[in-house]
Structures are given as structure tokens and as C-alpha cells.
Amino acid sequence: MLTMTVFLLGLVTAAGQAGADQNPQMSDTVFKNVQVLKGIPVDEFMDAMGMFSSSLGYDCSSCHSPEIRNNRDAFAVETPAIQRARGMIAMMNNINRSYFRGEPRVSCFTCHRGNYSPEIVPSLALQYGEFKEDPNAITIFPDRKVSAEEVFDKYFQALGGRERLNRLTTFVGTGIYSGFNTGGAEVPVEIFASAPDQRTQIIHMSAGDGIKTYDGRNAWVAEEWRPVPLVNLTGGNLAGARLEAVISFPATIQKAFSQWQVGSTVIDDRPVQILQGTDSGQTPVNLYFDESGLLVRLLRWNKTAVGTVPTQIDYADYREIAGVKLPFRTIVTWTDGQNTLALNDVRPNVPIEAAKFTRPAPFKRR
């Protein structure tokens, strides 16, 4: 994970779509010596690197030249592992094309499952071991006895009621952020949010401020460890930024998807209800609610050229602000890292200048 801080990034189409006024940076114009994953947005390209990392238990240095620690240009150096990966992508694409009508049914994870070399001998421990349901499964078993409306009603009531939720129009939060991109160190963070769907996060680090912004239509990230100083988010990453902004003012979340179905599972030995939202042609989103009705997890997916990758957001430490309960602790986990955001102060319904939600300047070291 430490190597990932050098370079790695860590819901909708493999090619991805940016906002209407955006021209996303493409993989083969930003990176050098791209032979296979051409013509895809930079953020999707980096999610593809996350797929490799998660599937094989790797980090950047596992495939790339050791020189990447001091020289980013060394990512373009062809190593045997990179050459092998290109062949594996071709093999995967051929399997999907030949047997699944081009649908991405087989990915790196299908065979590797966290191992460098796929296992070929059955595991008796797995065969006769205790079955554990994966709460993060993309396919859920619908519960016809409970309606989505009932789950949403319980959620809104647990937060303080629809009327109070509608009265929350803005908030500014301050606290502490830590993650792979800070080397585990705790640094100050600010959150600016405006209903219904604008959100900016500013991480104050010694090297410079890391900024992530969603303006209600487009999203950007400007951080030191990104492959370029300012990245336009596209596809599932753009949809994910919107979803994080909407969740900040959950009174509107029910309208974020055209269809909802209810399921159930277990997280940390506790029963939870699932609401899965879907729209035609998009990957779904899973919302997980505990017995009190509060949201404890959000799970979304992003399609890439080499498979679909998940992002998990866990919510905890709910506190009442202006009659509404908000989560003060958030943990974001995805294939390229994990970050923790712990707020210590939230000021509701305060004026926020419009400039806080505009396109940030490219990252620049202090």
C-alpha cells in the first residue's frame, strides 16, 4: 500500500462519460507506452490498475520497474510482468467475446482471486468449511415482504424525520483525515456541502491541499498522488461523486434511482437490510441499514475495461445536528486504498460561497 502512494488511484460504462462540458483526459495521451488499455479516461485506467492490484494482491512495484519510486516516467518501462499482463487482457477479452457475446463475464479476479497464480487444485477446507455470505455481492435476493418505501420511511425517521431533513440546506464540517495517501498520518479536513447535491472535500497536507469537488454536474480531484494535477471524474466515478453529495442530504436519495428492491444480509454478525437502486444500463448501488434504520454502508461499482471494481463507504458515529443525525465517521475502501474521515465539528445551514463548488485549480506543491 505504501508503494501505491506513489501513483495509484484509489457507476456506469467501461468507456465512461464525463459531464457535458468536460473533455476527459485519455489513457494513451496522459501515459506513455500504453499498448492495450487505450482510449479510456484516466480515472478508469487507474481503476483498471486497482483491478490488477485487488485480483493478484499486488501493488505498483509488483509489476513496474523499481525506478518508479523516484521517477514516474519509469512506469512506461516494459517489464516481463507488464508484457504478461497484456497477454492476459487479450486472453480475457477473447474468452468474453467467444463465450459470452462480448459481455464482461470473466475478469482478472475470476481466476486469480487474490493470488498471483490461479489455483488448479480443489480446496477441501473451502469445500467443507463454513459458508459465509458476502454482504457486498452485486446480486441480491429480493425480499417481497418488505417494500422500499418502508425501508426509506424508517431511515428518514431514524435521521430525524423528513421535515427536519428538508430544512437542512448546507453544512460545513471540519475534522481529521487519514489514509494511504497520507501514509497513515492524520491531517485536517474540511467538508462543504449544499443541497441537493454539491460537495467539496479539502484535505490540508503539508505538500498542498487535496481537493475533490462535485458541483451538481461535474466532478474533479486535484491531489498530489494523482497521475495528473487535475483529474476529471467520469463514468462510475462521476456517478459515485454525485451519490456521495446526495447522501449528504438524504431526503432526495429515494429519487436518485428509478427502481429499488429490498434484500437482507449480515455485516459483522449484525443483520442489515439492503436497498439496491438501479437504472437501465448502469451498475447498481447498495445501501445497507442497521436495525435502527440508520445507513451503515454504501456500495457502488464502476465498470472498467478489465472488469467491475467496487467502492465501499461505511458510516458510523451518528450525531444530531439541527435535529438531524449525520455520520461523523466515514471509511472509504476501494481497490487502491482506504481512507478514514472523522469529523469533530459540523455547522448546519451556514452560507457557503458558490466558489467552493467550482472546478478546483490543478494541484500544486506549496
End-to-end CA distance of the chain: give it in Å, rounded.
25
User: Which pLDDT belongs to residue 18?
Assistant: 40
Q: What are phi and psi of 200, to 5 degrees?
A: -130, 135
- Same domain for 167 and 313, yes or no, is yes
- Same domain for 38 and 71, yes or no, is yes
- Same domain for 118 and 156, yes or no, is no
Of 46, 4, 49, whose CA–CA distance to 26 is shortest? 46
- Return the CATH number at 58: 1.10.468.10
Domain count, the chain: 2
Domain region containing 285: 148-357
Residue 191 lies in a domain: yes
- What residues pair up with 318 in beta bridges, in sequence order? 327
Q: What are phi and psi of 308, to 5 degrees?
A: -100, 130
CA-based angle 170:175:176, to the nearest 5? 140
User: Which pLDDT belongs to residue 22?
Assistant: 57
Mean pLDDT, consecutive 10-residue stretches, the chain (366 aa), reads 38 35 80 94 94 91 89 90 94 96 94 91 92 92 94 97 96 96 94 97 95 97 93 94 95 92 95 95 94 98 95 97 96 93 97 97 92
Cell of 341: 474521515
Q: What share of the chain is helix, strand, coil (3-state, %, to 5)?
A: 30, 30, 40
Cell of 231: 483529474
How distant is the alpha carbon of residue 126 from its chain centre? Answer: 30
Helices (H), 23-73: 27-30, 42-56, 60-63
Residue 18 lies in a domain: yes
Of 361, 318, 334, whose CA–CA distance to 202 is shortest? 361
Residue 143 lies in a domain: no
User: Which pLDDT belongs to residue 59?
Assistant: 86
- Same domain for 156 and 295, yes or no, is yes
Cβ density class 244-276: b for 16+ within 10 Å, e for less: bbbbbbbbebbebbeebbbbbbeeeeeebbbbb
User: Which pLDDT belongs to residue 8?
Assistant: 38
> Which residue's entry shows cell 497477454?
87
- Return the CATH number at 309: 2.50.20.10
Q: Which residues contact 121 (CB under 8 A, 6 or more apart)?
A: none
The C-alpha atoms of residue 178 and residue 188 are separated, in whole angstroms, by 9
